[in-house]
């Protein structure tokens, strides 16, 4: 599953790691994708609702990225779907 910036997602499993003082997504909570990157065929996400201090890594300084495999797309259902089910089909007699 590939996510895009601005998409609403739900954390589905706990995440661990970091340096010990980072904030992590909570399973069951909904978040907004701030940025994405792909590394070694895996997608990683930064979330708008979680801001961690940038840390020094071997590639430079950056905020923590979370593995996309711990998230699922938020499912939203519009009331319009249910309203359409209430409308009777038009039946034409003798046409």
Residue 43 falls within a domain, yes or no?
yes
pTM more than 0.85:
no
- Segments forming the whole domain that contains residue 58: 8-86
Would you say residue 2 lies in a domain?
no
Report residue 50 as tokens: 């979680």
- For residue 89, pLDDT over 70 is answered with no
For residue range 52-87, what is the model confidence (pLDDT) as tens digits?
Answer: 888 887 777 888 899 999 999 998 777 776 777 777
20 CA to centre of own chain:
24
**Per the domain annotation, does 33 fall within a domain?**
yes
Residue 16 is assigned to a structural domain of this protein: yes
Decide if 70 is inside a domain.
yes
Domain count, the chain: 1
CA distance 81 to 95: 29
Sheet containing strand 42-47, strands side by side:
66-67, 42-47, 30-39, 8-11, 71-73
Q: Is residue 91 part of a domain?
A: no
Residue 93: inside a domain = no
User: What is the DSSP code (8-state) at residue 6?
Assistant: T
How many percent of the chain have pLDDT more than 90? Answer: 53
Q: Is residue 21 part of a domain?
A: yes
User: Domain holding 78: CATH number?
Assistant: 2.30.30
CB 70 within 8 A of CB 13: yes
Residue 69: CB atoms within 10 A of its CB come to 13
Give tens-digit pLDDT for 15-34: 988 777 889 999 999 999 99
């Amino acid at each position: 599953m590939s996510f895009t910036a601005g998409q609403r997602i739900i954390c589905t499993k706990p995440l661990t790691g970091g340096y010990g003082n980072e904030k992590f997504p909570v399973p069951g909570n909904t978040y907004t994708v701030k940025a994405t990157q792909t590394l070694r065929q895996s997608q990683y996400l930064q979330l708008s609702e979680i801001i961690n201090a940038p840390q020094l890594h071997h590639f430079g300084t950056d905020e923590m990225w979370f593995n996309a495999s711990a998230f699922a797309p938020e499912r939203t259902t519009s009331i319009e779907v249910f309203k359409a089910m209430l409308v009777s089909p038009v039946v034409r007699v003798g046409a």
